[in-house]
Structure 1
Amino acid sequence: MLQIQRNFYILIFLFVLSCNKEVKTSFSEINITTENNAIVEVNVPEANGKKTITEQINSEITKTIAAALHIGDPDSVPSVSVEESIKRFNEEFQDFKRDFPETELPWEAQIDGEVVYQSPEIICVAITTYTNTGGAHGLSNVTFLNFNATTGNKISNEKLITDFEAFKKMAKPYFDKAIAEKEHAIFDTEAFQLPANIGYTEDGLVLLYNTYEIAPYSTGIIEFKIPYEEAEPFLAFNHL
């Protein structure tokens, strides 16, 4: 009888232990398309694991894709699925061809994503988009999405850095070095501001300015990396 009770308590202990064990968020790469789609390609990571966490992450990835494929006011991006965003982009192209049949320039959109960093505290996903809607040139854009690994909530830059002014002062020399390598580019270095995109990577914090963010199109994307030993005093999340 004592042996049966002992085995029963062991089973209960193991059950509770398994329930309390954290399920680590994993990622798989998915390709998303629709019928009659010939101009949009989407390859992005999909979060798998605890539903309350993965739903938040996948929702933000979907929003980023929807914004990239949206034609019109950037402040009125509809809350739709990736498939619906692809469908709408194709429909906009068909409408454009009907309105301007003499135009031979094709539209295209390429969206790729990858998990560039993952730790017990933070997950960083980079979404790279290229869209061309018949203009003189296409537009490339990189978006860093930082997530709290324990909740799935998106982390804003304000919550990523503990002291913005001190961090900006530390980052300024890295910015100066990055723009010094750009030929024929003119910058107001005294008006230095942190970029909209700050992302965790394996060997440092990346600060990235997209095209047109602080310079003309010809300058392209500007980015630089700050080693963790320099950035760590200002980080709200542990990078290890």
Structure 2
Amino acid sequence: MRKLLLPLFFTTLLISCQKETSAPEFEELNIDQVSSQDCNPEEENCAFISINVPWVKNAGARNKTINHYIEQHVINLVDFQEEDEFGSLEELSQNFIDNYEASAREFPEYNIPWEASVNGRVLYTSPEIISIEFNLALFTGGAHGYTSRSYLNFDPETGEPFSNEELFTSEFKDYAEQLFRKKNEIPLEEPINSTGYFFENDSFQLPQNIGFHKNKVILRYNAYEVASYAEGGIQIEIPKEEAQDFIRIF
């Protein structure tokens, strides 16, 4: 029996150590591209795209999975109409510049430089979760640009992103609705859209984007999600100790 237990002990210890020491190591991926058309750098009027996001350094299935989801997330942010399919962020960047230059040639009277900026950072890491924040600023003509803040939450062991259902208990939605109503002064007895919001079917829904700091959970509704552009982003921050009972993974 001791001969069986001893190898088992060392195997368990080895697996434990590997989990502790094999956490993803992030570096920064930088892609910057500027159009040469109608560009005067001294006047800072050049069309450009700038991508600065966390990127896992080492090879391996788990790390490749994380990088894949980061890449696809950035592509979806910039190419939000999903008109094209891109194999890399470099392709996305080149396409953005190409589209601007084609538009500038076709409509020279509307020659306003396009801009796209995506900045990401690792908000929080633990043995249970990796939370990454992305800030987008996008302008491709029109009356105004668009900004958003979004999050990806990864399982550190598999590299797969968590869904809200995996992160939170079913009771969290009701708890979040109470906080939303209190913050935005919506009476409990009134419909959630009674003060001008436009939740689908007049029913509260958790935001698509939820992020984790060390000491708080962030619920983020970007412009147009549940309110007009003029309202901007709506954010609720919940102290982690208050949300703890609703979080499945901790």
* TM-score, with length taken from structure 2: 0.78
Q: 1:84 to 1:152 in 2, by over 3 A?
A: same
Please report how far the alpha carbon of residue 59 of structure 1 lies from its aligned counterpart in structure 2 after TM superposition: 0.8
Please, which of 109, 125, 129 is the counterpart of residue 132 of structure 2? 125
2:209 is aligned with 1:197: yes
User: Within 5 Å, which residues of 2 pair with 1:17-56?
Assistant: 17=14, 21-22=18-19, 23-34=22-33, 36=35, 38-49=47-58, 51-56=60-65
Q: 1:71-113: per-residue Cα shift (whole Å, max 9, x none)?
A: 6x33x55142011000000111011112211103210001100
Q: Return closer, same or farther for 1:173/1:34 CA change in 2, 3 Å cut-off.
A: same
The farther-off stretch of 116-125 and 195-204 is: 195-204
Alpha-carbon distance in structure 1 between the residues aligned to 2:151 and 2:182: 22
Q: What residue number does 1:8 align with?
A: none
* Aligned with 2:157 (options 143, 150, 158): 150
SS of 2:85 mapped into structure 1: coil
- Whichever residue aligns with residue 94 of structure 1, its letter is E
- Per-residue CA deviation, residues 158-186 of structure 1 (Å, 9 max, x unaligned), is 221121xx1111112321233349xxx73
Give the deviation of 1:188 after TM superposition.
6.2
1:92 aligns with 2:99: yes
Partners of 1:88 and 1:211 in 2: how far apart?
Answer: 25
Runs of at least 5 residues in structure 1 that lack an aligned partner in the other structure: 1-12
Tell whether 2:108 aligns with 1:101. yes
Give the secondary structure class of the aligned counterpart of 1:153.
coil
* 2:181 matched residue in structure 1: 176
8 A contact 1:116–1:126 mirrored in 2: yes
1:21 counterpart SS class: helix
Instruction: Tell me the matched-pair count.
Output: 218
User: Residues 77, 162 of structure 1: CA spacing in aligned structure 2 closer, same or farther, 3 A cutoff?
Assistant: farther
Letter aligned with residue 114 of structure 1: R
Give the whole-Å Cα distance in 2 for the aligned partners of 1:36 and 1:105: 12
Seen in structure 2, the aligned counterparts of structure 1 residues 178 and 50 have a Cα distance that, compared at 3 Å, is farther
Mapped to 1, the partners of 2:85 and 2:112 lie a distance apart of: 27
Task: Provide closer, same or farther for how the CA distance between residues 133 and 171 of structure 1 changes in structure 2, counting only shifts above 3 A.
Answer: same
What letter corresponds to residue 222 of structure 1 in structure 2? I
Is 1:186 the counterpart of 2:183? The answer is no
- Give the alignment's TM-score, normalised by structure 1: 0.81
Aligned to 1:69: 78
Q: Report the residue type matching 2:230 in the other structure.
A: S
Distance 1:20 1:170 in 2: 38
Q: Secondary structure at the match of 1:53?
A: helix
AA aligned opposite 2:27: S
| Matched position secondary structure for 2:110 | coil
Tell me the C-alpha RMSD between the 2 structures.
2.6
Q: 1:230 to 1:70 in 2, by over 3 A?
A: same
Counterpart in the other structure of 1:6: none
SS at match of 2:108: coil
